[in-house]
Amino acid sequence: MAQRQPLIAGNWKLNGSRQSVVDLATAVSAGCGQLSCEVLVCPTSVHISDVLGVLGNTALHLGAQNCAEATSGAFTGEVSATMLAEYGCEYVILGHSERRAMYHESSDIVAAKCKAVQEAGLTPILCVGETLEEREAGQVESVIAEQLDAVLNGAGVQAFENMVVAYEPVWAIGTGKTASPEQAQDVHAMIRARIASHDNATAQALRILYGGSVKPDNAATLFSQVDIDGGLIGGAALDAESFLAICEAAG
Ligand code: PEP
C-alpha cells in the first residue's frame, strides 16, 4: 500500500488585504514546521507575491485558486500557470464548485486547465463533487465519474500521477453541513476505484482530500478514514489557530 503524505490546503477565496495575508501566512508558517502533513495556502492571485515574501525556508507551500487554460495571448483578465510558477506556486485549485457554478467552467474546461497546470510543472488540485439535488437523485457516482472522466479521457490516467483530487460535496461548502466520515469515505473509495480501474499504482498513490465545512472539531474523524488524505479548507483556513488545529488533526 502506497504511503500518502496528508495534505491540508487552505483556500482563502476572495479574502484578505496585503497586510492580513502576510499576517496569516506568517502565523501558519510559524506553526506548521513540526507537522508531518504538507501544508498549503492559496491566496488570491494578486496576494501571491506578498505571501511568497514570507515563505522563506519555512515548510509552508503556496498555491493559486484558478488559472487560464492558455499560456499567453489575448485573454484579458487571465493569469497563466507559467506565471504562477514564476511566483513560487506549486499547486493550482481547479474546478472548484464556485467556478463551475458561477463562471460556467465545464469539466472539459477544467481538464484543459489541468493540462496547462501540469505543463507548467505545477500540480492541479482537481475539485469534484455533487449538489444536494444530485445526491438526492442518486447521481453522486455519475456526476463524479463525468468530472474525472474529462481528465481521464483527454489526458489518460498518467495525468493523475501529478494530481491531487478534492472531493467537495457542494452542499457542504460554506454551509456548516459536513459529510459524515462514512459518506465521505464512500465517495473517496469510489474515486480511488475509478482511477484504479485504469491503473492501480496511480490510484494508490493519489491523494484525495475532503472539503466542505471541515473544522477543528470534525477534522480528526474525517482524516481517520482510510481513503481521506487530508482536506481542502475554506472558512476555517482564514484563522491561523483553526487552520493549524486542522493540520494537527492530519498529523
Ligand atoms: C472550499 O471552499 O473549498 C471549502 C471547503 O469551504 P468551507 O471549508 O468553508 O466549506
DSSP string, 179-214: --HHHHHHHHHHHHHHHHTT-HHHHHH-EEEEESS-
Cα angle at 112 between 109 and 117, to 5 degrees?
A: 125
Marked catalytic residue, from 47, 61, 96, 188:
96
What number is the average pLDDT over the span 110-117? Answer: 98
**Position 174 in a domain:** yes
Q: Which mutation among 233, 239, 243, 247 tests ligand 1's pocket best, with the greatest number of atoms within 8 A of CB?
A: 233
Q: What was the pLDDT predicted at 251?
A: 83
Q: What was the pLDDT predicted at 3?
A: 87
**Position 41 in a domain:** yes
Phi-psi region of 73 (alpha: psi -120 to 50; beta: other; left: phi over 0): left
Pairing of strands 38-42, 164-167: unpaired
Task: Count the domains in the chain.
Answer: 1
| Ligand 1 cavity residues, CB under 6 Å | 11, 168, 173-174, 211-214, 232-236
pLDDT in tens, 183-232: 999 999 999 999 999 999 999 999 999 999 999 999 999 999 999 999 99
**Position 1 in a domain:** no
Q: Print the domain residue range for 78.
A: 7-249
- The pTM of the full predicted model, rounded to 2 decimals, is 0.97
CATH at residue 175: 3.20.20.70
Q: In this structure, what are the phi and psi dihedrals at residue 129, rounded to the nearest 5 degrees?
A: 165, 160
The Cβ of residue 112 has, within 10 Å, a number of other Cβ atoms equal to 20
Quick one: CA dihedral 204, 195, 120, 169, positive or negative? negative
Percent of the chain with pLDDT over 90: 96
Distance between Cα 96 and ligand 1 center (Å): 10
**Position 2 in a domain:** no
What number is the average pLDDT over the span 42-51? Answer: 98
